[in-house]
Chains A and B, each alone.
Chain A
């Protein structure tokens, strides 16, 4: 496997394998066991766009496994501001590192970088395109809660038009036979080409504007932020942002084991009252970013993870 650009780079079997690896790495991610599988390896973190969780969890994942990290730093002070092409930046970092994690505002940037690089590229988000490492941690969180991925009923809500997270996740869930309900304001509907693509793969997709009415039979409710930076018009943003606000009182009729997820950061779409309910999983989900990325780093660097991980406490 060269890199991870879209979820199409992984078979279902590989996905489940990597999720299994991630499960075994949990004590390492928590710092309970020191397992320097990636000692001597260097990760290049190239974030051309702001990122907190993705960048930090990649860094944590690498360091928990004994590896090192170099950062591009602030784009405003790097060579990018001098007009360096992505191709040239990649040529340089390719020589400094063993693997690259990258986020870029332009769609297709990760594939472009992979074509220019010798080392594997992990796509940490390219424009409104793909975000497969987020999808892997999302799948991990769902599997952790329900024990499997097959045939679940998943509601994806909020900004489905611009949210790359839900684009990648939808494609992956359909591969495991999940039913999808897209709940969004009309302006932020899932792009038509994605819906028709999912349906052509046999997916059962329902589109609605009614989030609360669609939650009763759901196994997962995946909320997303209405992203201000995607709007040209402030008023239009304000109109959409208020449309989906999940509160604990909305959860009285849902299934006992239903989980609420969110890629974070949240703004107003999940009220803090939800945090204390049995359904809230978004902070575990954020933590799971570390194990999922640990498993992916090892996989792409060709480093096998022991079948049993024990001992060696710090």
Chain B
């Protein structure tokens, strides 16, 4: 089954964002990290576990009338660092965005350890998580040194 065919499982969008090459089964976590849920007014299409030449299988999300900004891309990096993000305008790809997962994730999410000093949100210094390993992703808090619980990160988005 071609990639083109996979993309056509849902209609092409006029304006918005297409997030392709999401690891299979991770689409729901991507939506969670982006804060896209029941209260989101714009149309959102989601396909899961479609065949992919590159990945074997993958998920795809299309969000209409919304263009992802840098802070949303930073959050996406924690769930799908190798995803492809395209901004669509008038049915064409207007821009391809790059997700950049560096050595450290600064002010994107806060530490998931409940007794970390940074859980006091009045503390003004940056929230810093170090990328210990990229695949599978392992993060540690710069301050308390605790390994991060990835399934809780979506609740800790700043």
Contacts and interface: CB of A to CB of B under 8 A. Distances in A.
Interface stretch (A21-29, A110-118, A257-265, A269-277): A110-118
Interface stretch (B4-12, B55-63, B111-119): B111-119
26 contacts: A85-B123, A86-B120, A87-B124, A106-B115, A106-B119, A107-B117, A107-B144, A107-B145, A108-B116, A108-B117, A108-B118, A108-B142, A108-B144, A108-B145, A109-B117, A109-B143, A111-B145, A112-B118, A112-B123, A112-B143, A115-B143, A116-B125, A126-B144, A127-B115, A127-B144, A128-B115
A87 B125 contact: yes
A129 B122 contact: no
Interface of A: 6, 83, 85-87, 104-109, 111-112, 115-116, 126-129, 193
Given A86-B120, A109-B143, 9 more contacts: A86-B117, A87-B125, A107-B117, A108-B117, A111-B142, A111-B143, A112-B125, A112-B143, A128-B115
B144 A129 contact: yes
Interface in B49-101: none
A87 B123 contact: yes
A65 B108 CA distance: 45
Nearest to A116: B125
A32 B119 CA distance: 47
Given A85-B120, A86-B117, A112-B118, A107 B146 contact: yes
Interface residues of B, number: 19
A109 to B, nearest CB: 4
B113 A107 contact: yes
B141 interface: yes
B116 A107 contact: yes
B9 to A, nearest CB: 41
B35 interface: no
Contacts of B124: 85, 87
Contacts of B146: 107-108
A108 B141 contact: yes
B143 to A, nearest CB: 3
Interface string B131-158: 0000000000111111100000000000
Given A112-B143, A129-B145, A107 B115 contact: yes
Contact of B147 (A86, A115, A116, A193): A193
Contacts of A108: 111, 116-118, 141-146
Contacts of B144: 106-108, 111, 126-127, 129
